[in-house]
Amino acid sequence: MKRISLILICSLSILYSCNQGKQDTQDKANEQDSTNTENTDNPFFVEFTTPFGAPDFENIKTEHFMPAFKKGIEEQKMAIEAIVNSTEEPTFENTIVAMENNGEILGRVSMVFFNLNSAETTDEIQKLAQEITPLLSKHGDEVALNEKLFAKVKAVYDKKADLKLTTEQAVLLDETYKGFVRGGANLTGEKKEEFKKVNQELSMLSLKFGQNLLAETNDFQLVIDKEEDLDGLTEDIKAAALETGNETENKGKWVFTLQRPSIYPFLTYSNKRELREKIFKGYINRGNNDNAQDNKEILAKIASLRVTRANLLGYKSHAAFILEENMAENSDNVYKLLNQLINAALPIAKEEVKELQKVMDKENPGQKIEAWDWRYYAEKVRQEKYDLSEEALRPYFELENSLNGMFQVADKLWGLKFTERKDIPVYHKDVRVFEVKEADGSSIGLLYMDFFPRAGKRGGAWMTSFRKQHIKDGKNVKPLISTVFNFTKPTGDKPALLSFDHVTTLYHEFGHALHGLLSKCTYNSLSGTSVARDFVELPSQIMENWAGEKEVLKMYAKHYKTGEIIPDELMEKMEKSGNFNQGFTTVEYLAAAFLDMKWHTMTEAKEEKVIEFEKAALDEINLIKEIVVRYRSTYFSHIFSGGYSSGYYSYIWAEILDADAFNAFKENGIFDKETAQAFRENVLQQGGTDAPMKLYKQFRGQEPTTDALLKRRGLN
């Protein structure tokens, strides 16, 4: 859903937050209601006086949030009233730009609050999220459904042809108008009231879904107190598990969690099949344990309410509503792509099962491969076929070297320089901040980087912002961009060592960060990553390509002890094994994309039985039992508490773009300045100021096909 003003960024950000907890908040609400919202000590009431105007985390306290939200809402209401009550004829400047530029306090506090709620949440913040959610949902609807405000916007929109707008101005006007229409502005009477009720309920359910998932993830621990149960695990894996145990009540024991840096190595190397099964089932049953944190009823209600909302707006399904704004345009186009890929990938996955079963037959005759065996036996097959193990590579991917190598890539492409700043306040001691500069030394903005897992951080990796680039009063406002990860922490005297998958994740989120940092847009709501959902992954996914190029590997892949550059032999093995296990990887992902589409192409507002619905959806694509969908419904936070509903396909859609786009670099040289500048000018700088395919064709000179993607994945 496009955002019509800063207020909708605030209200919708609740739907996109995945890291909340659950608490009854009435006492806290009563306490906060009595707070004086005119407290001049509140750091959100004025611009931060820190370098770059960065969030003043040293002085921000939890009690500052609610007063700031209330004052921000009050301030924005006054600004909206001023627009509505103006006796001047509605113009682009006094209506559209005036809407775009209001809400400073609300924007400032929202960016900080919701980012903390994902990366460094607490019980208090989770309680506040439950209070703030209905406030922002109500306020967002009041703006979107304000009939007089919409009449002003429509008056400007109706004379668009005579206004001589720039391309960016025309897009802002279009998106503002569409935002109102898609936000229910044309609804009347009972339908309008029902629409508001649905929005309110959806915002709370999405919040609850994320709260439950975080709690479920944190609640599970595989505690091992017998050394023989560690059979097969490397010393590094055991050391990390022991450190986790020592940080909990299980001091002296080995503790494995459902965080990926913990569970994936265990599933890959543990010789204890029954323990692999236990932790795997703990992972795939999150939100499906029939307890207080169960997500089945919640997500069924979300899916049903989304149909109701879509129907109220005149769409047959939620997917039809969402995809109208994406490059894919409709569900038929999405299904066409997904079917093409699953038909290519599934036979390969079945052949992979046969390979794994052969190895298992040698070790455990009579047993059949199960989902919790896949990574374990896949690693054995990889070592057998390519003489390559993940653990053999890890010493060459020390975090600091990988980070410096990535910065060198950006320097070679665009002349960017990264200088660590110790004087910028951070929200956690592990967070690092870098000032980003052009080749001429002029400052671009700040990049926050948060690398390691902790209880208050949701899983996965993401890019976000504390402030987006835009023009204010004729001056460029520098972006404050943040990337958040969950990499393996340093243990003892050993630094953080990454898997190559983690390295590509580092580059992926860095690509998103560059999209935000290099933005050159006038309007906040169009800048940076404010683009179609199936276009936003292009900058991130294209950056992954550089991580594995031999020329780049020699820049950063150095043994953390000896400083030895990764040997040619290892790089060749990496290249040869590049398409290994692609059947599994592709099918696991595509199954989730199909599941997302199935939930959101529903045309009847019905609360389905989740497990039965999920099984039927996956049976339709003939998903084999040895592969569990990457995200089961009950922990599919991307679509039920994030912004990817009807959009999880976008990763593979964008991979078509990135495979084709990177070919331009391969053709001209991976550090070709002219190609890099063309990508910067036509993609990274443009934000959402023009049609995505137009921007892509301006860079590439043609539309992409699936050929490069199929070749890359070894599916052709």
Which residues carry out catalysis?
A: 509
- CB burial class (10 A; 0-12, 13-18, 19+) of residue 118? buried
Two tokens, residue 182: 């898609």
For 631, residues 6+ apart whose C-beta sits below 8 A from its C-beta are 592, 595, 637, 638, 639, 648
The number of beta carbons lying within 10 Å of the beta carbon of residue 216 is 23
End-to-end CA distance of the chain: 35
What is the chain's alpha carbon radius of gyration, rounded to the nearest angstrom? 25
Q: How far apart are CA 27 and CA 30, in angstroms?
A: 5
44 in Cβ contact with 105 (< 8 Å): yes
Q: Is 232 left (phi over 0), alpha (psi -120 to 50) or beta?
A: left
For 605, residues 6+ apart whose C-beta sits below 8 A from its C-beta are 304, 305, 307, 308, 311
293 in Cβ contact with 287 (< 8 Å): yes
Residue 625 belongs to what H/E stretch? none
For 664, residues 6+ apart whose C-beta sits below 8 A from its C-beta are 675, 679, 699, 700
Two tokens, residue 303: 């899916």
By three-state DSSP, how is residue 629 classified?
coil
Closest by CA to 263, choosing from 460, 493, 483, is 460
CA torsion, ordered 702, 707, 710, 715, to nearest 10 deg: 170
Q: How far apart are CA 489 and CA 246, in angstroms?
A: 14
DSSP 250-301: -TTSEEE-SSHHHHHHHHHH---HHHHHHHHHHHHTTT-SSSTT--HHHHHH
Q: What one-character DSSP code corresponds to residue 305?
A: H
Residue 103 belongs to what H/E stretch? none
Q: How far apart are CA 304 and CA 202, in angstroms?
A: 10
> Strands 480-484 and 462-467: what pairing?
antiparallel
The number of beta carbons lying within 10 Å of the beta carbon of residue 58 is 10
Taking CB atoms within 8 Å and a gap of at least 24, the contacts of 366-369 are 369/626
By three-state DSSP, how is residue 674 classified?
helix
462 in Cβ contact with 513 (< 8 Å): no
